[in-house]
């Protein structure tokens, strides 16, 4: 089954590079939209505020799927990504506890509490992705 093997350092770096490019594309879009003429800044800001969490929530689901074969019983950023992705897919975007996935909001990257709506922004996603990929690398190394 794809993804069940331990990811190589090259695979993690490729993911890191692809995610960085997607975050940069989003930031470029925001910059271009803010300079757009013929549209009020209020409308642009509203459109971006609606688009940002949808984009980064979906990017988190894609990140989780890319490393779906990782062990599920470890805590930390790996469990946080899995729980967030599961909550986005199966719980309507509300962070929901799972007996199968250990989660402690006080020890998490984003510090979201169970019951909160998940609405990631670029900075949230970048921080969680960096911690997640570092944890994946550490588990692959040994």
Domain ranges of the chain: 9-141
- pLDDT higher than threshold 70 for residue 38: no
First to last CA, the chain: 21
Contact call for residues 118 and 80 (beta carbons, < 8 A)? no
Distance CA 51, CA 9 (A): 32
Q: What is the pLDDT of residue 142?
A: 67
Q: Which of 47-51, 60-64, 111-115 shows the lowest per-residue confidence on average (mean pLDDT)? A: 47-51
**Coil, helix or strand for 36?**
coil
Distance CA 23, CA 29 (A): 10
Q: What is the pLDDT of residue 31?
A: 81
pLDDT tens string 1-31: 444 467 788 889 999 999 999 999 988 888 8
Instruction: Output the DSSP codes for 71-140.
Output: -SS--HHHHHHHHHHHHHHHSTTB---BTTB---GGGSSS-PPTTPBP---HHHHHHHHHHHHHHHHHHH
Distance CA 43, CA 39 (A): 7
Q: Which of 7-11, 14-18, 35-39, 134-138 shows the lowest per-residue confidence on average (mean pLDDT)? A: 35-39
Q: Which of 10-14, 103-107, 120-124 shows the lowest per-residue confidence on average (mean pLDDT)? A: 10-14
- pLDDT higher than threshold 80 for residue 53: yes
């Amino acid at each position: 089954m794809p993804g069940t093997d331990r990811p190589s350092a090259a695979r993690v770096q490729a993911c890191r590079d692809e995610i960085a490019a997607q975050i940069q594309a989003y930031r470029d879009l925001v910059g271009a939209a803010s300079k757009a003429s013929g549209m009020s800044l209020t409308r642009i800001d509203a459109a971006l505020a609606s688009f940002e969490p949808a984009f980064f929530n979906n990017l988190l689901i894609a990140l989780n799927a890319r490393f779906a074969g990782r062990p599920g019983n470890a805590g930390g950023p790996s469990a946080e990504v899995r729980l967030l992705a599961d909550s986005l897919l199966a719980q309507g975007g509300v962070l929901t506890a799972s007996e199968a996935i250990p989660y402690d909001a006080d020890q998490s990257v984003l510090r979201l509490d169970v019951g909160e709506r998940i609405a990631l922004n670029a900075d949230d996603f970048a921080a969680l992705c960096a911690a997640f990929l570092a944890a994946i690398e550490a588990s692959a190394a040994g």
